[in-house]
Structure 1
Amino acid sequence: MADWSQLPKDLIDQIARRLNSDIDILRFRSICSSWRSIASYPSHRFPNRILLNPKSTSGQPDSGCFYLSKHLILRLGLPGSSQGWLVKLEQSVPEKFLLLNPLSDSRICPLPQLFPNVLDLMGVQITELGQEFVLRYTDNRPFSYTGDVYKEKVIFSSNSVWSDEPDFVIMTIHVSGKLALFSFRDNVWTVIDDLLSPYDDVIHHKGQFYAVDSAGRAVVLEVSNSLTTRDVAPSVFGGDKKYLVESDGELLLVDRHIIADDESDFQNGNCMMNYTVKFDVFKLDHFGETWVEVKNLGDRVLFLGDNCSFSAFASDLSGCQGNCIYFLEKSCKLSREEDDGFNLSGIRLFDLENGHIELLTPDSVCSQFFWHPPSWIMSIGS
């Protein structure tokens, strides 16, 4: 049998430089000590703090900065098994993570007593389903008192994590509803002034930035001497909130229909002011420059969140049902004090075939991959 630890160092280094996923890098480094010593974790991989413009919108100098945190959406499973568990990890420092609920972003705490502090990456199959980024503003106040100044969705794009001259671009939605872009090379924020309706969502798809506004107008960002937007297809009208999701190589637009509940009992803290009644799904035909309605997602399932929307195959998750959409009804979510991260309060399931919306509970078959860690996870720590 070949001794992989004896591969030429130059070859190992070249292989490592082609890995862009955090999980792939960690798994690569876990093979043996010689690989770990050669494929060191890039020190400039991810910028935690980003300065504001020299002048704020009021024209006065602003010495504050943004704190940028990164979350990974992962499917954990035993090799050769379809019993997958869905988790979200917040990367605080290299190789150290906090465990979060995949949709609500609530921190899971306390962890079960037997939950391992260290996972043996050779004993678990890990698939990265998505990444999300969160910007928070800080001006020397304690982190817990800082707020999200820009809207929830933040997109991060980098040339290469192993480049000797790292470069990255951040795109988000400004509080005004306009698109905002930060270039590491120029060290400046630029607000794109093309607002017709406030933007709902942004995504990085096949090397380009896409955005959709509340009126269903989808645009692609043209990066040249000046930043401009170009319509990619006729607008999708009808719903109240739009999402962009990459699914199996396709760009999907999900249209969420929301109505007001005029009969809500507002004396009950758990009541809803608004609630979701249905979703419509469309895929982008790049050649025809049009949106084509999708009636059936097959084995695919969509997860819609404020910070990140992603797709997975139902057959890879325990008890998951295909052709469905998981989403969070914010008005039903528990308060931070009540939420231990395992609670499914506010998470709903929409069946695209029959239009039925189901409230998830810990006993629901289709919520098992959300619920407490499966027993096998307790045995793969090291």
Structure 2
Amino acid sequence: MAPKKQRTLRVSWEQLDPDLLRIISKKLCDMSSFVCFRCVCKRWRAATSRSDFPAQFPWVIDWPKGSGKLDDTFRFYSINSHKTHTFEVPDAHIYGPSDGRVLIYEWDRSDKECLSFLNPLTWTERFVPLEVPADNVHPIRLVCNLTQNDEPALFYKENEHNILCFWQSVTNKWAEVRVPCLKTVVFYDHKFFVTDNAIKYGRIRVIDVSTGAVLSYLPPPTDNFYHGYLIATDDALLAVEVIRSTAVMPYLLIDLEKCQFEVYRLENYPQNPQWTKLSEIGDLMLFLDQQNGFSLKASDFGGFKGNCIYFITAGKKWPKPGSEHVIARFDLESNKTERIPGPVWLGRRFFARQAAWFLPTLN
């Protein structure tokens, strides 16, 4: 007697369990894949939400030089998927990213100029009530990882001083603090740490976020910290310095292969603060661009190695040094720098606005 054929149980893809769909959605490493996943059918879309949006490895943002026209085109490059995403914001100037938002300068229906932070993925805006020349405004990145949702901040120049402007959740309004020669700002332990823009012997101001008062001053990790960054992690405040002998400026490296960094950690704060040089940073990945720095954990992203510093710089391209922007990674263990493949459109101009890191989010 011939054996009976077993019946194959067929299950429609659209009938997959919602919990399984949610697990699958969290494994998608690219934003476009997540959007396509939610577009399959109503059941798949209902099983997921914006909170299920997988953590994205930082993108690189670049935009065209003005040349008399509005800079209304965002171009993002994903190192993880090697994809380019393009967004346009008509009638707006782009002034750079601050985490998952971009600072833009535009005109409303009454032809009034206004500043706002825009999330280009969700098209949500937070307007900034400042009446200052747009050319003097610069966004500041304050978060130390993707899970935090800190409010945006910026600074603008006023004569020889800089004005640090940030949102105060306690008073529910924007606050301003005058700081001289601002170089880099980081938010850590509910305080602002502001580094002076001094060539030598600068100091770090510690500012209370609720009152704006200067609480104390910290010494920089080295005498030449003008070429450095402050970076907040979950449990420490780090300082990263570009070795002076290999750089003309922090964002212009003439010889990429000789690029090196030194990392310091703030110890015994606030009783007896001092900086300790680190030989390694473990699971951490540090990201640097022209003005800002932040940290992420490599274990949150499959296929990426910790103990590294990712940075965007202008590389060597004669006769115009600095005309080619480069994405690179410095390995603290091997003490070597390697170039990361990027798009052909990245930084094809001479000393125009610098490309920067962008943290895509749907929050």
Normalization by structure 1: what TM-score?
A: 0.47
Normalization by structure 2: what TM-score?
A: 0.49
Instruction: Tell me which structure has the larger Cα radius of gyration.
Output: 2
